[in-house]
């Protein structure tokens, strides 16, 4: 248990904990949070953590994440803990898992890749390296790093 609660507990929603310090903003980007959202999002940056030294924490009220969002979060926060909160209680808690392949969640940076033409082919990447993050398109073999993926 944290000694100090930086952001108050939420009634319903999702807590993304143990995000590497400084990566929380990227998680917000993955979730597509923008000025017109109809849910409340809190981001705590550089929170002291016994396990990690410092971490970022994101709390999203009344919103739950889908598989693609969890897969994308695992790319930048491989040790993130997801807690699903229902009526103030933790109804589910799990670690994100880096999938061996990412299907249909990212665009290949190669404009000529078959996945960027009008062919009905879903994008597909395999993980080449976790630290630093490198993924490779299984169709054209273009590799992409964290900066290519999240910008
Ligand atoms: N949480 C919340 N609202 C609630 C219940 C929990 O925002 N109604 C948050 C807590 O602040 C924490 C996360 O959900 O960030 C997980 O809760 P819990 O397992 O109780 O916290 P810890 O024991 O600190 O978790 P860990 O051991 O994973 O660090
Ligand atoms: Zn490609």
pLDDT, tens only, 124-138 = 999 999 889 999 999
Pocket around ligand 1: residues whose beta carbon is below 6 Å from it? 1-2, 9-10, 15, 17, 57, 59, 81, 83, 85, 88, 90
**Ligand 1 centroid distance, CA of 144 (Å):** 34
Q: Which atom of ligand 1 is nearest to the CA of 10?
A: 3
Taking the CA of residue 51 as reference, the ligand 1 atom at the shortest distance is 29
- Eight-state DSSP code of residue 109: S
Find, among 86, 72, 69, the residue nearest to 14 by Cα: 86
pLDDT below 70 — which residues of the chain?
A: 1-4
**Cα 46 from Cα 49, distance rounded (Å):** 9
Q: Provide the CB-side half-sphere exposure for 3 (13 A, CA).
A: 4
- The pLDDT value recorded for residue 35 is 86
Check: pTM over 0.85? Answer yes or no: yes
Q: Which ligand is nearest to the CA of 121?
A: 2
Q: Which pLDDT does position 34 carry in this prediction?
A: 86
Nearest ligand (C-alpha, residue 114) = 2
H-run or E-run covering 50: none
CA 15 / ligand 1 centre spacing (Å): 8
Q: Which residues surround ligand 2, an ion (CB under 5 A)?
A: 108, 110, 113, 137, 139-140, 142
- Residue whose Cα lies nearest atom 23 of ligand 1: it is 1
């Amino acid at each position: 248990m944290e000694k100090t609660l930086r952001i108050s507990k939420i009634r319903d929603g999702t807590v993304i904990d143990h995000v590497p310090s400084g990566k929380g903003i990227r998680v917000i980007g993955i979730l597509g949070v923008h000025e017109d959202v109809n849910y409340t999002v809190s981001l705590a940056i550089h929170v002291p953590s016994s396990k990690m030294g410092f971490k970022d924490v994101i709390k999203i009220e009344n919103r739950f994440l889908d598989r693609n969002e969890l897969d994308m979060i695992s790319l930048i926060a491989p040790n993130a803990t997801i807690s699903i909160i229902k009526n103030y209680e933790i109804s589910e808690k799990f670690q994100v898992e880096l999938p061996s392949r990412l299907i249909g969640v990212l665009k290949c940076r190669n404009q000529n890749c078959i996945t960027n033409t009008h062919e009905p082919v879903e994008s597909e990447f395999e993980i080449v390296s976790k630290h630093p993050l490198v993924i490779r398109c299984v169709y054209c073999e273009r590799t992409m790093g964290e900066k290519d993926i999240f910008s």
